[in-house]
A and B are shown apart, each in its own frame.
Chain A
Amino acid sequence: MEMMRSTKDFWSGVLYILFGSGALIAGRDYGMGTALKMGPAYFPSLLAALLILIGAISVIRSFFVQGTPIGDFALKKLAFVVGSVILFGAIIRGAGLAIALPLLAIISARASSRFRWTPSIVMAAGLTVFCILVFLKGLGVPLPLIGSWLGG
């Protein structure tokens, strides 16, 4: 990989090509139609081809034009933030807001390097009360307070 001068260009180009070819492959059965009567695949295929072209240019360019290196990925922080949201989605109906919400608040807070248990727990508790009052009681969002897993 010594030839590569811009890892950013290279990998974003690869992503474009992946998305573009994915769209072409997934859309191959949709029916192209004609310019007069465009089928469902007409416009997407056009775009997908364009995206692949852009990706190819980006990949080729990565070997010629010097770029800035990709910075380090904050994988741990990413995992805490994204993971806590996915967990929230997974347990919100089963466990209910009263459990899913404080879990989301506390687990996501651990992504911070300044995380401390006490303030985070206090904040999560206050936030839970606030959200129950505003979203469940006030706005009637159809979320269970206590979910079906716990007999709610």
Chain B
Amino acid sequence: MDLFANLALGLSTAGTPVNLLYCLIGVFLGTAIGVLPGLGPTATIAMLLPLTFGLEPLAALIMLAGIYYGSQYGGSTTSILVNLPGEAASVVTTLDGYQMAKQGRAGPALTASAVGSFFAGTVATFLLAVFAPPLADAALKFGPADYFSLMVLGLVASIVLAQGSLLHAFGMVVLGLLLGLIGTDITSGAMRFTFGIPELADGIGFVTVAMGMFGLSEIIRNLETESERSVVIAKITSLMPTKEDWKRIIAPILRGTMIGSAMGILPGSGSILGAFAAYSIEKKISKNRHQFGKGAIEGVAAPESANNAGAQTSFIPMLTLGIPSNPVMALMVGAMIIQGIQPGPSVIAEQPKLFWGIIASMWIGNFMLIVLNLPLVGMWVKMITIPYQLLYPAILVFCGIGVFSLNNSTFDIYLMAIFGAMGYLFVKLGCEPAPMLLAFILGPMMEEYLRRAMLISRGDPWVLIQRPISATLLALAVLAMLSVLLPSFSKTREEVFKE
């Protein structure tokens, strides 16, 4: 079978000592930042991206991917042991995880979460391997109009699935699209919104925006709530779950994996949403539902499986269509372009080693993670005790040097500072920056595809609904928008984000 030949190719490529080393570095760093509250994968990958310029493309991508899914593992450790989500997707894990820890069952909670994550990671990697090639084949038939509509659908979905107010998510998307257009217009060569600043001619770097909005403004937000934070770490006695525990977590892990895999493909914060959805479903259908919130092991296993599955399947749109579904994937697209690879449906055919290497590395990485997280949990616990007031100045220093090294320009340092302040202001006003970041990278692509579509149709906008693929995608976008108006949907949406 092709699939196994391809996976074998991937394993042999990802299994070279150098690639294994970068995979290990990636998942190690990922676990570390997952464990550390207040430092997420977006800011970390943005910080480390400049360091990967000198690496081989595959090694660079393997490492960056490892940081992302590694952070999903690490995030649960902090959630369970100190009741602080180490990572946004682990917020729900605090509900039952910390309760278990208080009852002296931190060990089984950690094991349930790691085993669930490993299972979910394995399944999701397999799904990625099965579904990516046919999707990429289908995507090769996409014309410019179809791509434009696909991006519209992606942005609409990210608005519908965004946290907080829909109107503001919409506003942030449009603002992000506009900011993305700053710089030289590729078709006409005209300088747009550069205000005579030569550094803006190439546009604003995505990494600069990500570091500002996710690195700097996160730090300011964390400092605001600093005094409320007290780190009391629960003791771990034994890691081994009881026989009863094992029985209870099998079904939630399976369901969590399914829900997480499906949610991960959606644009926006797929892995976060998957975790929330998996938790609320378990809470409804589990026969131990009365224990939820009081230390039910199902409430740890399901969301942790879901967030890891989602982290993995969110690679599907990026690898097959070249379209990022969340800020981390947007950085991956950036990393690929820097390495001279144009992300899109042709990557599988033209760079089979790279494509299958990344996929195989995820499975290898998941295996490394279970080893890193369970026996070495003591080391990560020590990391949680690093005081934040000593940690964040170091993050700022890495951001400063990192953003400088992108273009060897101090201008980018100033820009990052401005975006940091802007990000903080927007969060204060109730506007989440994640949809904006996604729109920021899609802005120039959307304009290009719209232009080409109009050129082909001789300026007739109806082409967007005359082509069947494009029409279907737009219809889906309209449906997604209308679903918000349904009272039952908006109620569920509010509930999900409230917890």
List chain A positions with a Cβ less than 8 A from chain B: 8-9, 11-12, 15-16, 19-20, 23, 26-27, 30-31, 34-41, 43-44, 47-48, 50-51, 54-55, 57-58, 61, 67-68, 70-71, 73-74, 77-78, 81-82, 84-86, 88-90, 92-93, 97, 101, 104-106, 108-109, 111-115, 119-120, 123-124, 127, 131, 135, 139, 141-143
Contacts and interface: CB of A to CB of B under 8 A. Distances in A.
A111 B174 contact: no
Contacts of A26: 193, 195
A16 B426 CA distance: 11
Contacts of B54: 139
Contact of A85 (B195, B226, B416, B454): B416
Interface string B412-453: 011011001100101011110000000000000011001100
Given A51-B171, A78-B421, A112-B223, A106 B393 contact: yes
Nearest to A36: B459
Contacts of A48: 178
Given A58-B168, A85-B416, 6 more contacts: A12-B431, A44-B192, A74-B223, A77-B220, A86-B414, A139-B51
Contact of A44 (B178, B397, B424): B178
A112 B401 contact: no
Contacts of B430: 8-9, 12, 67-68
Contacts of B178: 19-20, 23, 44, 47-48, 51
B190 interface: yes
A11 B428 CA distance: 10
Which A-B residue pairs are the 4 nearest by beta carbons? A36-B459, A89-B413, A112-B389, A40-B190
B397 A101 contact: yes
Interface stretch (B17-25, B372-380, B402-410, B467-475): B402-410
A135 B399 CA distance: 12
A68 B405 CA distance: 41
B177 interface: yes
Interface string B171-215: 100110110010001011010110100000000000000000000
A89 B390 contact: no
Given A8-B429, A51-B178, A90-B410, A40 B192 contact: yes
B40 interface: no
B181 A43 contact: yes
B97 to A, nearest CB: 27
Given A12-B431, A58-B168, A142 B393 contact: no
B57 to A, nearest CB: 18
A81 B401 contact: no
Contacts of A43: 181, 446-447, 450-451
A64 to B, nearest CB: 13
Contact of B181 (A12, A44, A61, A142): A44
A45 B391 CA distance: 43
B388 interface: yes
A127 B397 contact: yes
B170 A105 contact: no
Contacts of A123: 390, 393-394
Interface string B336-365: 000000000000000000000000000000
B216 interface: yes
Contacts of A92: 400, 404, 410, 413
Contact of B429 (A12, A19, A81, A113): A12
Contact of A88 (B175, B400, B459): B400
B192 A124 contact: no
Given A19-B175, A54-B170, A143 B459 contact: no
B487 interface: no
A81 B404 contact: no
Contacts of B84: none
29 contacts: A8-B429, A11-B429, A12-B171, A12-B426, A16-B171, A19-B178, A23-B193, A26-B195, A35-B460, A36-B455, A40-B185, A47-B174, A67-B430, A81-B223, A82-B420, A89-B410, A89-B413, A89-B417, A93-B410, A104-B396, A111-B220, A113-B227, A114-B226, A114-B387, A119-B387, A124-B393, A135-B405, A139-B51, A139-B54
Given A16-B175, A81-B396, A81-B420, A120 B185 contact: no
A50 B447 CA distance: 15
Contacts of B393: 104-106, 108-109, 120, 123-124, 127
B498 interface: no
B392 interface: yes
B224 interface: yes
B400 A85 contact: yes
Contacts of A88: 400, 413
A38 to B, nearest CB: 5
B247 interface: no
A12 B216 contact: no
B428 A71 contact: yes
B219 interface: yes
A102 B447 CA distance: 43
Contacts of A47: 174, 177-178, 181
A152 B21 CA distance: 37
A30 B174 contact: no
